[in-house]
Each structure stands twice: as structure tokens, then as C-alpha cells.
Structure 1
Amino acid sequence: MNKLHNRSVKTTANRIGTPLLCFLFLLTFACMEEKKELRIQAYETSSNGSQLEEVETLSGQQSDIRIQLLPDEEYQTITGFGGSFTESSAHLLNQLSKANRAAVLEAYFGESGAKYSLTRTHMNSCDFSLSNYSYAPVENDLQLEHFSIDEDRDDIIPMIKEAMALSKDGFRIVSSPWTAPPWMKDNKDWRGGKLLPEYNDTWALFFSKYLEAYKAEGIDIWGFTVENEPLGNDNNWESMHFDAEEMTSFVQNHLGPRLEADGHEVKIMGYDQNREHLKEWIDAMYKDEASSKYYDGTAIHWYASTFEVFPEALQYAHNKAPDKHLIQTEACVDAEVPIWKDDAWYWKKEATDWGWDWAPEKDKHLHPKYAPVNRYARDIIGCMNNWVDGWIDWNMVLDRQGGPNWFKNWCVAPVIVDQDKDDVYFTPIYYVMTHFSKYIRPGAKRIGFKNSDPELLVTAAKNPDGSKAVVVFNPGPEEKQFSISLNEEEASIRIDAQAIQTLIIE
């Protein structure tokens, strides 16, 4: 056998030449060399109780699951991640001790916390207010001479200002009205109805007055949505109806020109409801140059499903207006009373949403029982991978009932408080939000990747400082080991079952 082998080698050498054969041997040897170790910092939150805990890489180990980063493939620029300043949240913070109030705001906005960068608040009251109110309560005040934001001075404004003082990099605020004051509407009610045409200019002026009033408080508003949930909410709480053409006409002929004339540089975003109707709104908003002139983007919510991201709708919206924002402006575990200090519940398929009881039969499959952590992680990753550039949670703080809420529309927030006992509970949802907001910064570019395991959900971004942030979610019942590579460097890491990781590569 040895003689036969030697003869075979000599024959091959004679045929292709000794220099070429040597080159092939060197190439094979080079391919067999291990890649350089990729230096990463990894943080994990999991159902076993870890909360943003640092995880060590597995030196020298290989894995069949491979994630390859493609930093030259760049997609949307990230605007930010965060939550909402509501009267309910601000009211609860006012009832906590100074120490606990400061701890909650530090957890959201401080350097040691989530570093929220994109936020939302409501203009006039909403369901997560203590009562119905408007900044323009005087009927037929066409010039809004009695306009006042006094309703916000005891709660929302102090909360925003304290957050601003804590935030090193600052954050952007999107403001949304749930309704115009009833005297401007055809049904004279807080709920439902439409804006009367004779008040189009007054309602547009309302937005301008709001900007000026908040500016006088030292608070800059970055953007507006024209109307929260213009398709309505069955007249349960504050709402006002628009269809796509009506909203676009209001923006094109009243709101846009008013803000422009008053010298306000502010983003205007249309729609602001669930993704299953996105296409029809996109077509109306961006029909032509005139209709799209004053729109800076589109706002969306997630309530159409507990698991479906609607990627085709998001891609359609991006392709129709690739230079416009696409921002998720509201999300929460709705129709649930919060579970107090039981982390395991947030990882189990126990929660149900409004659609569990109320969705039409044809849509029931979109509203199964779900794990709250999974819902957040899946949606944020799915949104990022389909051109969404900002993602905003709903209330930052709620009580053990899921309020206060004048309509008793109970929901869950990342932070739950027992104001009577001055106690604070950071739910697992808080840590999931932090995996994105703390490590993927405004101005980051989403980048491409290859992932060999479809059971792992992955997204990746390149921050303005050059660092790469990769979020990996393992919703399955088994831990996994995977390798992650960038250029010629590679590292292996283990992710727990039911866990989310953020990997930072400097």
C-alpha cells in the first residue's frame, strides 16, 4: 500500500508540478488554522433568573450553529428605543419615595440603566390618564387664547424634566393626541366621532401651541403622530376617527402648512395603528409629492397579533417611502392585570390579549396565549429586520392593578409599583427592552448577517462609535451553542433556554 501511495503522489506531482502541489498543501493548512478569537462582551437575561448578566465566551470551541456578521450590508438608521410618559406613570412616581422615584428614572434613562432614547407622550388625556381633560377646554375658542398645559405641570412635565437631567445623550419625544376637545367634534364626545371641518385650522393651531408651551418649559418635542389609532377603539376611551384620505388632507392642507408657517421643525408621522391595515394608509399618504410633502414617516402599533410581525406590510411601507421613518409607537401586554414579583409568569404562555376574547373568528389565530417576554423580543427583532427604525413601549410604570386608568383598561408595564408600600418590581420585560435600548444607540445602522439556525432570532447593528451590537433570542426549551464571526475573527458562546443575549463587539 505504501508503494502504491508513493507512486500515486509522484504521478500527481509529475502531472501538475511540484510548485503547484506545494501551494495546495499550504492552502489546505491555512484553511485548517483556527480563526482569530473574536473579543465580545455578552449579556444575558433568561428564564433561569439572570438579568443582563455577563456571559463568558467558550474559548477554542466550535459550533454547528453559525452567525456571520456582514457589516458592509447596511440598512435603516436607528432612531431609538424607549417607552412613554403617561399621566398614570407620572402620577405613580409622585407617590413613591424620592429614592424609589429616582431609582426608576435612573433605570430607564441613566447611564447604569436602559438609556432610553426615543419616547412618547399624549396630548390631552388618554385612557392612561386619571380623567378626561383638554388643553383647550373653552368652547369656540378658535384662536386658542385659553390654551394651557397646566394639567401636565404636576406630573408629566416633572417626570420628563427629571429624565432629561439623567440622560447623558438625551432622548426624543413623540407626542400623540387621542382626541381633539369634544367641542371640535361632530359627536361632542371624548370618544369616537370626527373633527368638524370648520375646526381644521384650530386643531392644527393646537399642535403649534403645544410645541410652544412645551418649549417654554425647556422641553423640545421631536415629532407628532397626527392621531392615535384613527380607526378607533370601539369608542371605549378617548378617540377620534380619520380614514387615510382624511388624515392626509388634514396634514397636507392644515397641519403641515401651520407648523411650517410658525417655524416649527418637527416630524409628522401618519397612521399610528395596527400593521394589518398599513398598505392602504401608505398608498394614501405617499400617493404623490403633494400628499407626502409634510409626512416624515409612518407610526405603527403591534396589537393585530401576539406573534405575527407582518413583514410584508413593513417592507411595503419602506419600499413605498424609503426615505421616511417607520416607527413602532406603542406596544404593551394589554388586557392583563400585572403579575407581581413572579418572573416565571413572564416567560410562560399564560398571557392573553384583547383578541383572545374579541377578535373576529377569522383573526383568532393571530391571538393565541403567549409569553410576554417572547412577544417583546420577537417583535422588536422582527421589526428591526423589516426596516422599522424606532420602537416605543407604552406606559413606563403601572400599579399592581395595571393602572391607574379611568376606563379600567388594565395593562402591564416593564416596571410595576406598589405605591402604598413604596415597593418597585422590575419585570423581565424591562430587561428585554434594555437589551436593545442600552446597546443599540441612535444613529446605528442595522447590518446584515447570516444565521444557520432559524430557531434563533437575530438582529445586528453597527453603532456610531463603530461597535457592533448583536441581539440573539432563544425561545426554545434547550440551551444552544453558537459561533459568531466577523471578518476573520470568531467566538463561540452558549445561550440558555428561553434567553435573550446582547453581544457587543468593539
Structure 2
Amino acid sequence: MISCNKQDKTLAVEVYETSANGNKLTKLTEFQNSEAKATIQLVPEETLQTITGFGGAFTESSAYLLNKLSKENRKKIIDAYFSKDGAHYSLTRTHMNSCDFSVSNYSYTPVEGDKNLEHFTIEEDKDDLIPFIKEAMAASTDGFKIFGSPWTAAPWMKDNNHWVGGKLLPEYYDTWALFFSKFADAYKAEGIDIWGFTVENEPLGNGNNWESMHYSPDEMTNFVQNHLGPKLEADGKGDLKILGYDQNREHLKEWIDSQYKNEETSKYFDGTAIHWYASTYEVFPEELQYAHNKAPNKLLIQSEACVDAEVPVWEDDAWYWKKEATDWGWDWAPKKDKHLHPKYSPVNRYARDIIGCLNNWVDGWVDWNMVLDTKGGPNWFKNWCIAPVIVDPDKDEVYFTPIYYTMAHFSKYIRPEAKVIKVNNTDDSLMVTAAKNPDQTIAVVVFNQTEETKRIDLVLNEKSVQFSISPKAIQTIVLPTPIQ
């Protein structure tokens, strides 16, 4: 056994582990020895991107389920996500109008032809979404950012007069820009400050399944440059963030090229949002690097991810560590893309993607639904998925899956305004990232995908510490300040 002892040349660290052998963000003080050794060297003087935050999405489905639970379990879940003792989420998303994870189709603009949106109303959100957000705000000591994403405008604004597919009619571009401004005002009146928006969830569409509205890259750039940006600015909301794209990474370059073509097109874009559904394992580092290099001072935020096309597995932690999950692409991806969608382990997918994103300039990472039921809903389209927390409202039972703890390894210990720092790692089988927080603590996250214990020698300047990571495990190592 080896342990973290304090000597003149020994780093003082706290080690927290979630593993296939049963640890759940468990603080470790004793470690197994191993012949497999890796050296991880921290280089905090070389800083990279500044962290915006980590978190999940407020959806009507999650809020609806929380309303069906006992007060005790409702509070337990909200505290687990937002309190300092829990995952301490700092960056969140919500849908504007309905989405697939709504109980039904609805719009804040129900009156056809209402160009000035005199009948705009968020009444639909007042029973579930808004109470959920406000209770999360009350549970959070540091607060969190929230951005809104529309899946579609009301059908009457679109060329196909339908919830699914179609494009925004040019005659309603100014009306749709006004919609964003009205949304921010309406939520502010409820005591909720909106941080920003994505322009459109999945502008390439989603196979004509649920709420969607299509843009080409240049159409979205035109809307932001000539309508949305100027409207928010004119209404005194120029500080609200506007994130372009908001879909899978494999098409990122063409959207980046359109948004940041020149100074005029770039003016109102604060950054770009991306999803992970193009592959169950590929991070697309080239695309992420390209996005950063094209616009190094703009945000790059992973805005949605989940274990999709799966019904949740209840109270079976082992399943979440096994390569048994399949995604939409397992059945539906075109032949040329099938290799991007093999079976995968849910924990691996989350840990690999978040670390891969942080090591390729992504500054925020947002999960999808925070709470779903044992069927993977409710969802009006029956588009079943898995969330980190699963509930059985009929029995008033709650299951915190290993995905919840995986998210917490990042959100709890890497705080907003942290700086990602350079790391040298001698073992390619370990994935590693690290960040220096505003309070000067350093958080190092290590993911061991292998079946063997790995001994780690963590080095900072002239000091080091030895410990080990379990097989199939994720660890967060916290170095306190001042470094001892």
C-alpha cells in the first residue's frame, strides 16, 4: 500500500475516485501498488482556455418528474446537482418553446400573425421549468449561468407551417429576433437572469423527428448579423451571449467559416455551440482546433450530450461501465459513418469526451436532461434517453447513475474562470486534463480506461506525490493552495 504523506518534497493532495469497483466520488487515502507506472507533470505557468462552466439542461421532462416526487427527493436531486456539497453545476441550458423532452408541443407565441408578439407568454413554464430553475438558484452558493435554445419558431412563422423542419420565413426574421429579447425580459420578471442563447438547436435538422427549424451556415450568420444581434443591442441586451451552430462537430468548420468570415459577420457572435452525437468515441480534435484557431477569443461550448436511443438501466452500476450501449447511429448512420458508432461504455463516453474537449480548447460542457424516468422520458416523441439521475415517480425512488458522479468530477472541482493548464503525461492509455482555479487550487482529472491499476507519479515543480488509480476509474486530484 502507498499513501499520500507530507514531506518537504511531497505534494499535499486530495484524491477522489469513481470506479467500476464501487467508488462514487470517494476520497481515497490509501492506494494499491502497481508495476504499471505513469508520470503526470503539471505546467501551470502555461495556461490555455478559461473555463465557462459545466452542467446540464433544465427541460420540461425533468421539471415534470420533479413535480411528481416527494419534497424530500426533489430537494435531494436539486441539491445533488447545484449545492456546493453536490456537483455544483455552473453552466446550464434550457429550451425556448417546446422540444422533444417536453410533454407536448407548445409555443410562447400562440397567436398566428402576431408580428409584434403582443401575446407573448411563458405561462407554459410557470408550473414546472421556472420553479425548477429557481430552486436550483436557491441551492447554488455561487450561482450559475443559463442559456436558452429554441428548437423551432411557432409553425405560423415557418415556410412549412409545421413544428418539424422547414425554415423561418424572411418576413418573420425581425419577429423572431424580438422573441429572444422578450424571452429574456419574461424570465427576468420571474427573477431569472439569462446569460445567453444558442441561435437554433440542430439547424441541420434531426431527421424530421421532433421540433426543428433549418438554417444554412450563411442563413444563420445573416440572421445574427442583421437581426438578432442588432435587436438585442437596441434593447439594451448587448451583453447577452450569442452562440452559433449548436449541432455535431463533424460539420463545425463550415459554420465557423461563415460566422467568422470577417469583422462584420463576427461582431455579434460570442462563440459556438457543439454536440457530441456524430460519434460514440471520436472527439473531432481537428475540428475543435480549427474553431479555436479561427476565433481564439470566442467561446467554444459543448451544449448537449446524452446516452441517446437507450432506455435507462435501473440500479445496475456495472452496466454503465460496460461497452453495451448503442446510439442512434448504431441503427441509422449511413454506411460510411458506421465506424463512428460502435457499442460503448456510458462512463467512458462522458469521461473521454469531456477530457478530450478540455484538451482541445472547449471551455464549457453541458449535459442534456438532468432527470428522466425509468422509460427514458417523458418525451412526446418517445425519443428515449438516459440522464445522470433516473427516478421512478410512482415509487418515489431515485437512482444516481455513475454518469452523475462522472459529471461531478469536473463540475465540482473545475470552477468558472479556471484556466486549463498544460500537462505532460507519459502513459497514452491514461487521459488527463488539469485546470487552475481562481482560488489557485489545481484540479487534475485522470481517466483510466484499462483493466489494470496504474501507479501515478504527479509532479509539480520540485515536488511530487505517488498514488494509484483503480482499473476502469476516473479520479480528480485536488492540489490545495498554497501548494505545500
Establish whether TM, by shorter chain, passes 0.5.
yes
Query: 1:60 deviation in Å?
Result: 12
Match of 2:318 in 1: 344
Which of 384, 387, 392 pairs up with 1:410? 384
Query: 1:235 deviation in Å?
Result: 1.0
Q: Which has the higher helix share?
A: 1
Q: 1:181 to 1:60 in 2, by over 3 A?
A: closer
Q: Identity, % of aligned pairs? A: 72
Match of 1:98 in 2: 71
Which of 171, 187, 197 pairs up with 1:214? 187
TM-score by length of 2: 0.96
Say if 1:59 and 1:491, in contact at 8 Å, map to a contact too.
no
Task: Figure out how many residues of one structure are paired with residues of the other and give that number.
Answer: 473
Query: 1:64 deviation in Å?
Result: 3.7
Match of 1:168 in 2: 141
Equivalent-residue separation in structure 1 for 2:194 and 2:346 (angstroms):
30
Match of 1:41 in 2: 14
Equivalent-residue separation in structure 2 for 1:79 and 1:63 (angstroms):
35
Deviation larger for 64-73 or 431-440: 64-73
Match of 1:327 in 2: 301
Amino acid at match of 1:261: A
Which of 91, 94, 98 pairs up with 1:121? 94
Which of 72, 76, 83 pairs up with 1:110? 83
Which of 417, 428, 442 pairs up with 1:454? 428
Tell me the secondary structure at the aligned position of residue 105 of structure 1.
Answer: helix
Equivalent-residue separation in structure 1 for 2:302 and 2:38 (angstroms):
31
State how 1:186-265 maps to structure 2 within 5 Å.
186-264=159-237, 265=239
CA offsets, 1:406-431, max 9 Å, x none?
00000000000000000000000000
Q: 1:59 to 1:51 in 2, by over 3 A?
A: closer
Match of 1:159 in 2: 132
Which of 364, 367, 371 pairs up with 2:345? 371
State how 1:369-448 maps to structure 2 within 5 Å.
369-448=343-422
Match of 1:304 in 2: 278
CA offsets, 1:250-305, max 9 Å, x none?
00000000000000120000000000000010000000000010000000000000
Which of 278, 281, 291 pairs up with 2:255? 281
Query: 1:479 deviation in Å?
Result: 1.1
State how 1:172-187 maps to structure 2 within 5 Å.
172-187=145-160
Query: 1:65 deviation in Å?
Result: 1.3
Tell me the secondary structure at the aligned position of residue 36 of structure 1.
Answer: coil
Tell me the secondary structure at the aligned position of residue 106 of structure 2.
Answer: coil
Q: 1:64 to 1:497 in 2, by over 3 A?
A: closer
Equivalent-residue separation in structure 2 for 1:77 and 1:465 (angstroms):
14
Say if 1:59 and 1:492, in contact at 8 Å, map to a contact too.
no
Tell me the secondary structure at the aligned position of residue 37 of structure 1.
Answer: coil
TM-score by length of 1: 0.92
Amino acid at match of 2:441: S
CA offsets, 1:344-401, max 9 Å, x none?
0000000000000000101000000000000000000000000000000000000000
Q: Is 2:291 the partner of 1:355?
A: no
Equivalent-residue separation in structure 1 for 2:8 and 2:44 (angstroms):
18
Query: 1:56 deviation in Å?
Result: 1.9
Q: 1:248 to 1:270 in 2, by over 3 A?
A: same
CA offsets, 1:453-502, max 9 Å, x none?
00000000000000000000001111111100111110011110000000
Say if 1:57 and 1:492, in contact at 8 Å, map to a contact too.
no
Match of 2:39 in 1: 66
Structure of higher CA gyration radius: 1
Q: 1:195 to 1:50 in 2, by over 3 A?
A: same
CA offsets, 1:31-76, max 9 Å, x none?
xxx9711100000000011101111266999974100000011000
Match of 1:26 in 2: none
RMSD: 1.3
Tell me the secondary structure at the aligned position of residue 326 of structure 1.
Answer: strand
Say if 1:44 and 1:500, in contact at 8 Å, map to a contact too.
yes
Query: 1:311 deviation in Å?
Result: 0.2
Match of 2:3 in 1: none
Equivalent-residue separation in structure 1 for 2:33 and 2:259 (angstroms):
54
Query: 1:111 deviation in Å?
Result: 1.6
Residue segments in structure 2 that go unaligned for 5+ positions in a row: 1-6
Equivalent-residue separation in structure 2 for 1:59 and 1:232 (angstroms):
49
Amino acid at match of 1:476: T
Match of 1:51 in 2: 24
Say if 1:61 and 1:492, in contact at 8 Å, map to a contact too.
no
CA offsets, 1:163-184, max 9 Å, x none?
0001000000010000000000
Say if 1:78 and 1:442, in contact at 8 Å, map to a contact too.
yes
